[in-house]
Structure 1
Amino acid sequence: MGGESPEKNRAVRPRTRLREKQAAWQGLVGLVLVAWALGLAAGAAEPPRRYTGPWNLEKLKQVPPATFGVTRGLVQEVYYQGEPLRGKPTRVFAYLSRPEKSSGHVPGMVLVHGGGGTAFAEWATLWAQRGYAAIAMDLAGCGPDRKRLPDGGPGQDEHSKFREFSEAETDQMWTYHAVAAVIRGHSLLAAQPGVDPQRTGITGISWGGYLTCIVAGLDDRLKVAVPVYGCGFLHENSAWLPQFARMSPAQRQRWVRLFDPSQYLPGVRIPILFINGTN
């Protein structure tokens, strides 16, 4: 009978299958390249607007009125303007430090203490010894002796952080005041002679890490952030779950929307290093 031999057909079929596989791979590579190009286009697009919460960042980026006090070693005491509390002005106490010797402008670090902490002169001194200017502020309404200032901001007790509040009372809450004090402290530090405002960063520990996570997503002047066991999603898994359990659903939603770092971390546009323990 006529026609091609079985041996020739067997030789043709593998070549056909090979061409089919090559075409399939070429199609897959094409899809990958298209996806890659679309990803580049999306990355080049304007990033989503930062969520700024209840704070007036334009106001907080202005250099606050400040009164400078005694200098000991590399550290100087300073009081600067805080947010109003119950209709009255407040002041924030802080330590400013500078390196003993420096050539040119030096970088700056904002140092945010944790729960039960205060402005630590030793912390500011440590960074000055490393060649940085630094500011370490008190976020409990206290002065250098840890006593309440007559015009200090809210205390940092549990009630001040988690008490029930209305939308109109947002600016009376501890987190609101603390974040404002940190950003204003950055404004003051960056304005000091010999400080390079283009090279500033922030670090905080525990509740200071919590605040660092919020401020890193708000203050676009910062170049780096280092939260030390910083946190977010407090309402989902934290030591504070009992506090959230006592809130009404509306109150919990308000607290999370305004004061949880999970709302602000998507706005971070700088390198951020999370330092946490593993045990």
Structure 2
Amino acid sequence: MKMKKLVFLIAMIMLCSIGFAGCGGKTSESDSLWDFEALEKQTPETEDAGYTYAGNENIKGIYFEGAEYNGEATKIFAFVGVPETEKPTNGYPAMVLVHGGLGQAYGDWVKLWTDRGYVAIALSVDANMTDSANKASLNERGGPRISITPADMKNPANSWEYISVANIIACHNILRSMDSVDKTNVGITGISWGSYLTCITVGVDTRFKFGIPVYGAGYNHEDVTGELAGVFQMDDESLAIYRERFDPSVYMKHCKIPMFWLAGANDHAFSLACNQKCADLNQGRNTYSWRGKLTHGQQPGDGSGLHEIFVFADEMTKSEKGLLRVSEGEVQSGGISLRVENVGAAKADFYWSSYPLEYWHDAMNVWERESVAIDGDTLRTAVPQTAVFGFVEITDENGNIVSSRLFTF
């Protein structure tokens, strides 16, 4: 009996070592790495970095204590900005901004949002700090660099993914602690690896009103020819742990908020097929902007290049008219039929590929494009017999680009 009690005690100690918040709070879902009930209560103290972004007194550099890494507290850098306009009665809407690989906490990204009337916070998820001129340098106490390794699967609490999502939730807590913020109107957007983290976070932190993933989502371990394929070449045991506890698809199935998905069919890192499969798990309303061609990078994805991001956010937070809405569509008799509403359609193109997923990132892969007939609020196009995948890209009367879902034929 004593031996059984000892074994049970050891097992409980091992379980408690997994979470940043410790063992004692309940996880929102049994398969979650994060104890959200504990994390949402932890608003870290902030420390002034001593400078503003490019002389903008409303955008300050700060540090906050993040999740532990290698048993030590981290000191995470972020830029946080408040609009210079008069505060609305209920406070400003707000955004959490999550950068991608080779990125940093960008002051100019925060400014894009403060100029539009949002409080915004952009944190580093790659052990960086950023100076007043937007130049990055290594932050020795900034936690892990961007990585996904078999070692992370064995020690989840020390992984880049676990620590980054915990720090993103901390940023959300910081925003919600500010008197200037409308707590009912907080969204999140991420770019590339930041988009990947966004798709995890919205399934863990249920307080966000909407999410905007740009380029990346889940199921990347199924995309064997993407630029990121090497990241997921793990041993079978590690890959099984990744699929069950780390991939965004594990968490997206718990998401119940409006999501705006943006990516290009020509993306070298993430495929539309994997993105669509992940988006289909969302229980909230999905809006798509799949595009035939889209450059992958910070500026194209931060709103300075994709202005639809701001249109969607304003619709969510300010009750503005927003983007054209597209029906799920019907595929029958060798064609696709779609209905649109809210805004008129001005132009539409059907992009299709005869190549299966394993060739999507191959240099020989070709996406074909054909014009789509617009009849009032109805769009129709024929589907070639050789098509494997296809989507309709639509430009509305205001020049905004949205799309249908990605169809598999």
Calculate the TM-score normalised by the size of structure 2: 0.53
Out of 189, 196, 200, which is 1:203 matched to?
A: 189
Out of 259, 268, 278, which is 1:272 matched to?
A: 259
4+ residue runs over 4 A deviation = 49-52
- CA-to-aligned-CA distance 1:47-83 (integer Å, 9 cap, x gap): xx74562112123212112112333413011111111
The CA distance in 2 between the partners of 1:63 and 1:88, in whole Å, is: 18
Equivalent residue number for residue 176 of structure 2? 190
| 1:223-238 mapped onto 2 (5 Å cutoff) | 223-237=209-223, 238=226
Higher helix share: 1
The CA distance in 2 between the partners of 1:58 and 1:64, in whole Å, is: 15
| 1:149-228 mapped onto 2 (5 Å cutoff) | 149-156=139-146, 160-167=147-154, 169-228=155-214
Equivalent residue number for residue 123 of structure 1? 109
| 1:93-108 mapped onto 2 (5 Å cutoff) | 93-102=77-86, 103-104=88-89, 105-108=91-94
Out of 148, 160, 175, which is 2:138 matched to?
A: 148
**Would the alpha carbon gap of residues 193 and 172 (structure 1) be closer, same or farther in structure 2, given more than 3 Å must change?**
same
Q: CA deviation at 1:203?
A: 0.5
Say yes or no: does 1:65 pair with 2:19. Answer: no
Amino acid at match of 2:118: Y
The CA distance in 2 between the partners of 1:77 and 1:51, in whole Å, is: 37
Which structure's CA Rg is the greater one?
1
Say yes or no: does 1:91 pair with 2:91. Answer: no
SS in 1 for 2:32: coil
**Would the alpha carbon gap of residues 53 and 79 (structure 1) be closer, same or farther in structure 2, given more than 3 Å must change?**
same
Equivalent residue number for residue 38 of structure 1? none
Equivalent residue number for residue 246 of structure 2? 259
Q: Which runs of 5+ in 2 are unaligned?
A: 1-27, 265-291, 294-409
- CA-to-aligned-CA distance 1:100-120 (integer Å, 9 cap, x gap): 012331000000101110000
The CA distance in 2 between the partners of 1:128 and 1:51, in whole Å, is: 38
Pairs aligned (count): 226
Out of 52, 55, 60, which is 2:34 matched to?
A: 55
> Is the CA contact (8 Å cut-off) linking 1:119 and 1:137 kept in structure 2?
yes
Equivalent residue number for residue 229 of structure 2? 241
Amino acid at match of 1:148: L
Amino acid at match of 1:254: I
The CA distance in 1 between the partners of 2:48 and 2:128, in whole Å, is: 16
The CA distance in 1 between the partners of 2:202 and 2:47, in whole Å, is: 27
Amino acid at match of 1:95: F
Q: CA deviation at 1:147?
A: 2.1
Say yes or no: does 1:135 pair with 2:121. Answer: yes
The CA distance in 1 between the partners of 2:128 and 2:219, in whole Å, is: 29
> Is the CA contact (8 Å cut-off) linking 1:201 and 1:222 kept in structure 2?
yes
- CA-to-aligned-CA distance 1:138-174 (integer Å, 9 cap, x gap): 1111211422223210012xxx32243453x111111
The CA distance in 2 between the partners of 1:131 and 1:225, in whole Å, is: 18
Higher strand share: 2
The CA distance in 1 between the partners of 2:195 and 2:153, in whole Å, is: 26
Larger RCO: Structure 1 or Structure 2 (Cα < 8 Å, ≥ 6 residues apart)?
1
Q: Which runs of 5+ in 1 are unaligned?
A: 1-48
Q: Once superposed, what is the RMSD of the aligned Cα atoms?
A: 1.6
Amino acid at match of 2:245: L
**Percent identical across equivalent pairs?**
36
